Amino acid sequence: MILIFVGSAGGTAATAAAATAAAAAAAGRRALIASIGPSHSVGSLAGVGPSSAPQSLAPGLDLWALDALEDLGAAWGALRGQPSGTPASAINSEELPIIPGSDLFLAVARLRRLAPSYDLICVDAGHHDGLLRALGAPDTFRWALRLLLGLDRDPGRSSASMARAMVPSALIPFEWIGQVQQARVQLERLRDETVAPDQSRVRYVLRPDRGGLEEAAVALPALQLFGLAVEQIIVGPLLPAGNVALGPLLAEQRQVLADAAQTWGGLPLRRLDAAATPGGAAGLAAIGAALYADGGLLPGPQPAPPLRLAGPTEPRVEIDLPGLRREALGLTLSGDELIVRAGPYRRHILMPEGLRGGVAIRAGRQGDTLVIRPRQANA
């Protein structure tokens, strides 16, 4: 199982990820701390930099600060080894830029291959904006291909999309089109694997101030919009009570905890106390033991996917968006795609059979769940 730790700016997500893995190792599990960078703040907790393989920190505990450039080079080398006949095959990996989102998907692909060797993999994914932009990259790529080349979701090209393409299809060799489509399909497949609830869960690290709460009110439902199941919220770093000089900060901290409990009452809310840099596996394990003093260290039973599609007998789309304010939610219908906006983040969802082809739809919220279904004739 892969746990993805993500949250507001700062190194608290790294601390939470490392402490969780260290506590699991101390309990006799085989655990890996993984950082997908780019800053690798988790490495500073143990003085470890990027490496080509996991490094041992303690019995049952490894750390791996993945090198995105190395992963990209390996993936590109495999593609160049295939007969293609395209100009891209002459490009060296050192010339390639880091495409937003590629480091996340390449890292998760490598971690999945390692998963059988570990009971738990804890990933420090840093700020939630980077993760959410990465999850949106396949939609952006697909949109650009449709606009430029007339490629759509199907293996080929529809006459409608070809007619609107900016580049005439006659100018593009057929084999190139197939390779581009293959790249698009592969990118979407990697995203699907990243968010699969039977493989990955999210523990959101909430900064205990008003700004952190406002960010989480958009980021947490946006993660679920992209299919990542948020299973716990970790609030920290929390200041110790009792210091009169810190009165206003402590009052704000208490209010944030109360508001978070009210907004996301269905999720466990954990406290991560402020502490000095642990400096090793023993210190991380102590933080983890305090963080999970009441249990919940390991992932629970598999939750329902936060994004659910059904059809064609009872076609509907259901998306769990806990805490998302009404003004931050937007819906746009574009052909057979539903574009859902959560604050600054957008997800393009291909409607299931029964909601395509110009079918009139109706959208409404049932609690925290957005439900889209066909509009009844008398509605």
User: What pLDDT digit, counting tens, does each position of 310-355 carry?
Assistant: 978 889 999 999 999 999 999 998 878 899 999 999 998 888 888 8
Query: Tell me, what's the pLDDT at 98?
Result: 57
With CA atoms as reference, report the closest residue to 361 among 374, 351, 348, 377: 374
Distance of alpha carbon 166 from alpha carbon 290, whole angstroms: 58
Enumerate the domain spans of the chain. 2-291, 307-374
Distance of alpha carbon 31 from alpha carbon 22, whole angstroms: 7
Q: What's the mean pLDDT in 181-205?
A: 80
Instruction: Tell me: pLDDT of 115 over 90.
Output: no
Query: Tell me, what's the pLDDT at 50?
Result: 60
Query: Tell me, what's the pLDDT at 45?
Result: 66
Highest mean pLDDT among 93-97, 111-115, 123-127: 123-127
CB neighbours (10 Å) of residue 124? 29
Q: For domain 2-291, give the CATH number.
A: 3.40.50.300
Find how far residue 266's CA is from the centre of its chain: 20
Q: What confidence tier does 155 reach under pLDDT thresholds 50, 70, 90? A: very low
Query: Tell me, what's the pLDDT at 95?
Result: 53
Query: Tell me, what's the pLDDT at 276?
Result: 82
Share of the chain above pLDDT 70, in %: 74
Q: For the chain, what is the total number of helices (H) and then of strands (E)? A: 10, 15
CB 349 within 8 A of CB 343: no
Whole-model pTM: value is 0.83
- Between 103 and 73, the more confident residue is 103
Instruction: Tell me: pLDDT of 165 over 80.
Output: no
With CA atoms as reference, report the closest residue to 134 among 52, 16, 36: 36
Dig out the tokens for 67 from the structure.
């090198």
Q: Do domains 2-291 and 307-374 have the same CATH topology?
A: no
Instruction: Tell me: pLDDT of 270 over 50.
Output: yes
Query: Tell me, what's the pLDDT at 174?
Result: 57
Distance of alpha carbon 17 from alpha carbon 284, whole angstroms: 10
Share of the chain above pLDDT 90, in %: 40
Distance of alpha carbon 222 from alpha carbon 145, whole angstroms: 24
Instruction: Tell me: pLDDT of 71 over 60.
Output: no
- Between 249 and 143, the more confident residue is 249
Burial class (CB in 10 A: 0-12, 13-18, 19+), 3: buried
- Between 13 and 50, the more confident residue is 13
3-state secondary structure at position 322: coil
Topology of 307-374 in CATH? Immunoglobulin-like (2.60.40)
Query: Tell me, what's the pLDDT at 161?
Result: 58
Query: Tell me, what's the pLDDT at 157?
Result: 47
Query: Tell me, what's the pLDDT at 149?
Result: 63
Q: What confidence tier does 213 reach under pLDDT thresholds 50, 70, 90? A: very high
CB neighbours (10 Å) of residue 133? 16
Distance of alpha carbon 111 from alpha carbon 194, whole angstroms: 10
CB 18 within 8 A of CB 65: no
CA angle 343, 346, 348 (to 5 degrees): 155
Q: What confidence tier does 122 reach under pLDDT thresholds 50, 70, 90? A: very high
Distance of alpha carbon 57 from alpha carbon 46, whole angstroms: 8
- Between 359 and 235, the more confident residue is 235
Distance of alpha carbon 360 from alpha carbon 373, whole angstroms: 9
